Amino acid sequence: AQSVTQLDSQVPVFEEAPVELRCNYSSSVSVYLFWYVQYPNQGLQLLLKYLSGSTLVKGINGFEAEFNKSQTSFHLRKPSVHISDTAEYFCAVNHGSSNTGKLIFGQGTTLQVKP
Amino acid sequence: EAGVAQSPRYKIIEKRQSVAFWCNPISGHATLYWYQQILGQGPKLLIQFQNNGVVDDSQLPKDRFSAERLKGVDSTLKIQPAKLEDSAVYLCASSLDATDTQYFGPGTRLTVL
């Protein structure tokens, strides 16, 4: 069965600094990987997704992630963060061997951007 | 384009009472999802609909939770009777089909006292 582990519960960082949010997955079949962002009192919004093809995926708001099959990781990165990036970030994997829509989410990482 | 609408936004009930949540997906979206998000955790899928049929309800506690999407558009999620551990945010999401991006509503925050 698939599972997702987000290695950091909180990541504090200063504005304009780079950031990496770590995500590891466990799966014995093909994976489809996602990063979502949740701003306070809002629903989740898709940042980016990996379905196939290039292992470097670019998303919205300047975020990117790299799929690493050998390390079973899908870490999220941004070269320079803004105060407005303060939010909860969730990594997710699709359950099963095809893209069925059934997502398994990690526990989330709180990104705290300080001025 | 209007997003996914949910109501109410907040609900406080006592244990053993019943409660219902409503979701209106984005127009034209065939797939609808209900998630439960307990504080400090990621969302957990409760049920997935394709039009008005259930695709997956393997994680829905069927002894107390029920959901329907009668006309393949709006959906309701009901809890009867509620337990303390049901306190959570209930998120509704929709997508064009199961392989497409899921769009989430703002959620309903349920507190069971």
Interface membership of B47 toward A (CB under 8 Å): no
3-state secondary structure of B78: strand
pLDDT at A97: 64
User: In this structure, how many other beta carbons lie within 10 angstroms of the beta carbon of residue B48?
Assistant: 26
3-state secondary structure of A5: strand
Residues 39-98 of A with CB under 8 A from B: 41-46, 49, 90, 92
Torsion angle defined by CA atoms of residues A41, A2, A23 and A61, in that order, rounded to the nearest 10 degrees: -50
What is the distance in angstroms between the Cα of B2 and the nearest Cα belonging to chain A? Answer: 14
Average pLDDT, chain B: 94
From first to last of its 115 residues, what are the pLDDT tens digits of chain A?
A: 778 999 999 999 999 999 999 999 987 777 889 999 999 888 899 999 998 888 999 999 999 999 999 999 999 999 999 999 999 999 999 876 666 788 999 999 999 999 9
Q: Is the CA virtual torsion A52, A36, A19, A25 positive or negative?
A: negative
Length of chain A: 115
| Beta strands per DSSP E along chain A | 3-6, 10-14, 19-21, 23-26, 33-38, 44-50, 56-58, 64-68, 73-78, 87-94, 103-105, 109-114
Closest CA to A63 of A99, A24, A21, A25: A21
What is the distance in angstroms between the Cα of A43 and the nearest Cα belonging to chain B? Answer: 4
> Most B CBs within 10 Å: which of A93, A102, A110, as the mutation test of the B interface?
A102
